[in-house]
Structure 1
Amino acid sequence: MSLENKVVLVTGASTGLGEQICYEAAKQGAIVVVCARRINLIGQVKERCMEISQKEAYAFQVDVANPDNIESLMEKLKEEVGTVDVLVNNAGFGQFEEFVSFDMEVTRNMFEVNILGMMLLTQKIAIEMLDQQSGHIINIASMAGKMATPKSAVYSATKFAVLGFSNALRLELKPFNIFVTTVNPGPIATEFFDKADPSGDYLENVSSMILDAQKLAKTIVKQMLRPKREINRPVAMEVAARFYQLFPHVGDYLAGGLFNKK
């Protein structure tokens, strides 16, 4: 099994985990499609992918919260690239704040980016995957979608939605040889926290659990041609999330105490 000449589309690919997924896919010979809002950055990622793979790569400016952008992307894919073999829905953002003071306009935007836009793009790509009877959809969710903690009410709500959507979609597409995987990472030292935690206190408090974006990207890319229900990192948070589900009272203690570092 090889990613050689497979088309891998990654959203939120200008920096962080999305960028590293692009590079790891390029190392495996994939034709990478880099999508994000910042046109100057995706151009750089595209060029780097071409250097690594010695193959064509593509960069398209896309705001997944804008349905017209998604329509335009689908037209460009049809004209320039072809059918997507692997879709990585990585675009998203969070903001850690007490819900009672949370700006509801930010709430609306977070749902548009983290779940609604992702669902629209996934639907359009999945229709094409059905035609070729193969494909893999990888949704970057979060440990926040398994174990909610204080100051993450809105973000956790979007990621719980991603998990529910992915779990149902997995069952719907399984008969057609299309895989659906959710990736549930804990904190990763990326630009995500520039908006989610401007003070930097959270990252400092969870320094022992911070994930390396390149290592996680490598793990994700290794699974691109294999059925995998979930990828959960770090292990300590996965164990805590299992306690959260099996023993709710213990789970509340962990989420509100031990893992409440915001």
Structure 2
Amino acid sequence: MQVNNKTMLITGASSGLGRKLAAEAAASGYRLLLAARSEEKLKQLAAELNDRFQVDVFVYRADLSDSKEWRAALQRIVWENQRIDVLINNAGVGYFRHFADTEIEQMETTMRVNSLAAMEAAAAIIPGMLVHGAGHVIMIGSMAGKVATPKAAVYGASKHAIIGFSNGLRQELKPQGIKVTTVNLGPMDTNFFDTADPSGRYRQASANYMLQPEKVASRVIACIGKNKREINMPGWMGIGSKLYQLVPGLAEKLLGSQLSKK
């Protein structure tokens, strides 16, 4: 995909992987639309990227856990931008708790932000892509969507939904020239764990193979315009997920200690 005059929308752009994605995209010359809850952080990021890369950056404050607010923001985004070439659904949240200890509100927030909000963004942006016969939708999924683990049943369900949605969407849109890529990640060194794992136990247990968001962002931006079905990081987890799909009982037995680190 030629980057000149291409516009990209990134959700959850104010911190973590979203911030790195924005920087990598700006370095490549994309015109950026950044959405997140913190307008102040978005404005600071926009100013930084504009200063460093001389690209246009527009911010949209929206709480993706609030359906009405997010849909209103999407209407504004579509109204103010004639064409959006790339959508990266990056916003995500999780709570690593045993299901019996998980509050209903936490379940609703997880499913809303990780699944429904991403689908709503796709529903708003894809019609414009269809008009132009081109575009790329990138869904930030998770290895948890392929291999569910204790204390992440709801989070795994939300990411499993995104993987299933992406697989169906990819087949629907391929004849129309629109690409769909799912990015399935293991633990990554971001502030996601501030909410998901306040104890810090899982972060410490995963320290030896924690992904760096800069590396992930580089892989994601590099895949734009390519027929890339999935990106799985780290690679050994991708292999493990295939084993799990083939022989789940054996995989749970062999990987039991690894799956229970939360």
Normalised TM-score (structure 2): 0.96
Report if the CA contact (8 A) 1:32-1:49 is conserved: no
Q: Give 2:240's aligned amino acid.
A: A
- 2:157 is aligned to 157
- 1:88 is aligned to 88
Moved more, 44-53 or 226-235: 44-53
Aligned length: 262
Displacement of 1:75 in angstroms is: 3.7
Report if the CA contact (8 A) 1:148-1:255 is conserved: no
TM-aligned CA distance change 1:4 to 1:255, over 3 Å: farther
Give per-residue Cα distances to partners, 1:231-262, cap 9 Å, x unaligned.
Answer: 00001211111110112122212453223211
Report if the CA contact (8 A) 2:89-2:139 is conserved: yes
Report if the CA contact (8 A) 1:65-1:112 is conserved: yes
- 1:55 is aligned to 55
- For the residues of structure 2 that align with 1:189 and 1:253, how far apart are their CA atoms? 28
The gaps in structure 1 that reach 5 residues or longer are none
For the residue of structure 2 that corresponds to 1:224, the secondary structure is coil
For the residue of structure 2 that corresponds to 1:51, the secondary structure is helix
TM-aligned CA distance change 1:40 to 1:111, over 3 Å: same
- For the residues of structure 1 that align with 2:19 and 2:112, how far apart are their CA atoms? 22
For the residue of structure 1 that corresponds to 2:91, the secondary structure is coil
Report if the CA contact (8 A) 1:34-1:42 is conserved: yes
- 1:203 is aligned to 203
Q: Give 1:189's aligned amino acid.
A: D
- For the residues of structure 2 that align with 1:127 and 1:66, how far apart are their CA atoms? 23
- For the residues of structure 2 that align with 1:54 and 1:254, how far apart are their CA atoms? 51
- 1:234 is aligned to 234
Displacement of 1:142 in angstroms is: 0.2
Report if the CA contact (8 A) 1:3-1:225 is conserved: no
Give per-residue Cα distances to partners, 1:156-189, cap 9 Å, x unaligned.
Answer: 0000001000100000011110001100010111
Displacement of 1:94 in angstroms is: 0.5
Report if the CA contact (8 A) 2:75-2:124 is conserved: no
TM-aligned CA distance change 1:100 to 1:74, over 3 Å: closer
Normalised TM-score (structure 1): 0.96
- 1:216 is aligned to 216
- For the residues of structure 2 that align with 1:13 and 1:241, how far apart are their CA atoms? 28
Identity of aligned residues (%): 40
- For the residues of structure 2 that align with 1:131 and 1:210, how far apart are their CA atoms? 40
Report if the CA contact (8 A) 1:23-1:52 is conserved: no
Displacement of 1:4 in angstroms is: 2.5
For the residue of structure 1 that corresponds to 2:175, the secondary structure is helix
- 2:143 is aligned to 143
Give per-residue Cα distances to partners, 1:51-87, cap 9 Å, x unaligned.
Answer: 2331211011012233333333234334433211000
Report the RMSD for the aligned CA atoms in angstroms: 1.3
- 1:191 is aligned to 191
- 2:133 is aligned to 133
For the residue of structure 2 that corresponds to 1:182, the secondary structure is strand
- For the residues of structure 2 that align with 1:20 and 1:55, how far apart are their CA atoms? 15
For the residue of structure 2 that corresponds to 1:130, the secondary structure is helix
Moved more, 66-75 or 162-171: 66-75
- For the residues of structure 2 that align with 1:148 and 1:255, how far apart are their CA atoms? 12
Give per-residue Cα distances to partners, 1:94-132, cap 9 Å, x unaligned.
Answer: 110111121112101111111111111111111111111
The gaps in structure 2 that reach 5 residues or longer are none
